[in-house]
Every structure is written in structure tokens, then in C-alpha cells.
Amino acid sequence: MKIPPRSLALGLLAIAFSALVLGRAQAGGSHYFPPVAEPVVKEECGSCHIAFAPSMLPASSWKRMMGDLRNHFGDDATVDPALAARITEYLVSHAADTGGRRYGDKWLRGVSTASAPLRITELPKWVKEHRKVPDREWSHKDVRTKANCAACHTDAERGYYDE
Ligand code: HEC
Ligand code: HEC
């Protein structure tokens, strides 16, 4: 058994909150980030980590990131140009500040979209939501990196980040 304590706690909370979460999702809850619905994006951008929801970053960020996939956080994530264009188009049209996402403003509070941040995990709102998470959890062997959302948010792939 190597279930991290966090998963256990979240699991219990998940049971307690599942009814609530469903209710909120239907009501368009503020912590629902529609998952990638385009198979090609899911495939190309979901092989090394979860396919991050496009509504987690502004359009400028996706353009910047897609403009340099060769230097993608130390990895080479290059795809052929036609495919890259398709992926960019999808991400940009579903970004936090496009596509009519109701809560995009809140998520991007304090972010200058001109600065095109590349990390979700560096957005002020993300940092604020996680400020109570202790260091030892980030370094836990089942987590390792802040970008490993699904380690703690078991429903991340489906767009739910409620606890
Ligand atoms: C070859 C592996 C690989 C592929 C393919 C890949 N990525 Fe990444 N990505 C990484 C690595 C490595 C990181 C850094 C993760 C970390 O900090 O732990 C990262 C980080 C990210 C982050 C920032 C996460 C954070 O810290 O907030 C985003 C956003 C992202 N990738 C989007 C994409 C998109 C969009 C695609 C598809 C075009 C993609 N990735 C394809 C390896 C990959
Ligand atoms: C080490 C575990 C851990 C990792 C990894 C993690 N989170 Fe979280 N996240 C939490 C916890 C715990 C909370 C609740 C914090 C609180 O309520 O004080 C939270 C809260 C959130 C919230 C707010 C949810 C709400 O209903 O208030 C969002 C959105 C979120 N996380 C997104 C992400 C994303 C996106 C990633 C990956 C880029 C990520 N998290 C990675 C533990 C984690």
C-alpha cells in the first residue's frame, strides 16, 4: 500500500462532496475547467502530463508556448507545423480570456495577459489556492511537481478541482 495521506483525505472528501460537486458542475461551478475535448490536443499535450485545460491560461500564453515547443520546460514537445496550428487554434479559442468563460477574470486576477505566463502554477490565483499545502506534500514521491495536478485532484482530467 502506498496511498499518500493526501489521496486518502481527498478520497474521503470526494465522497462527502460528490453530490455537491455534481450540483456545482451543472450550475457551472467556479472550479470546473472544461477538459480538452479535441482528441488531437489530448494526445499531443497529454502524453507527458495531463492535458491542461485551455481555460487555465490566457490566449497570449498559449500562443507563446506553442511558438516554442522545442524548448518546452526542458523538453522538446515539437509537433509538425500543421498540427501545431490546429492545437494553437483550439487552445486559444478556449483560453481563460476567450470562449466566454465566466470565471476567467477571477482566475486571471493579477495577471498581465501581455506577460503571457507559461505556468499555471505561477498564476497568483493558483498560488493563493495552494498556499496552505505544506512543502512535504509537494516533495512527496507521488507528487514530485506542482504540475502533477492529478496526484491530488483525482478528477483533474475531467475538469474538477473541488475537494
Ligand atoms: C515531451 C513531453 C511533453 C509534451 C509532449 C508536452 N509537455 Fe507540457 N510540460 C512538459 C514538462 C516536462 C513540463 C514541466 C513540468 C513540471 O514543472 O513538473 C511541462 C509543463 C507544461 C505546462 C506548465 C505547467 C505548470 O507548471 O503550470 C503547460 C501549461 C504545458 N506543459 C502545456 C503543454 C501543451 C499545451 C502541450 C502540447 C502542445 C504540452 N504541454 C506537451 C512536458 C511536455
Ligand atoms: C500536492 C497536492 C496538489 C497538487 C499537486 C495540486 N493541487 Fe490544487 N489544490 C490542492 C489542495 C489541497 C487544494 C485546496 C486548498 C485549500 O482549500 O486551502 C487545491 C485547490 C485547487 C483549486 C481550487 C479548488 C477549489 O474548489 O477551491 C484549483 C482550481 C486547483 N487546486 C488546481 C490545481 C491545478 C491546475 C494543479 C496542477 C497544475 C494543482 N491544483 C495541483 C492540492 C494540490
- Do 84 and 109 contact (CB within 8 A), yes or no? no
118 Cα: distance to centroid of ligand 1 (angstroms) = 9
Q: What are phi and psi of 154, to 5 degrees?
A: -65, -20
pLDDT of residue 5: 58
Q: Closest residue (by CA) to atom 30 of ligand 2?
A: 161
19 Cα: distance to centroid of ligand 1 (angstroms) = 32
pLDDT of residue 113: 87
pLDDT of residue 28: 42
Closest by Cα among 40, 50, 53 to 85: 40
pLDDT of residue 162: 80
Q: Closest residue (by CA) to atom 28 of ligand 1?
A: 119
pLDDT of residue 15: 47
Measured from the alpha carbon of residue 32, the closest ligand is 2
Concatenate the DSSP letters of all residues of 89-122 into one string: HHHHHTSTTSTT-TTHHHHTTT--GGG--S-GGG
Q: Over the chain (163 residues), what is each successive 10-residue block's mean pLDDT? A: 56 48 42 93 97 96 98 97 98 88 79 94 96 94 95 93 78
Closest by Cα among 6, 1, 44, 2 to 154: 6
pLDDT of residue 58: 95
Measured from the alpha carbon of residue 121, the closest ligand is 1
Q: How far apart are CA 106 and CA 94, in angstroms?
A: 16
Domains of the chain, residue spans: 5-158
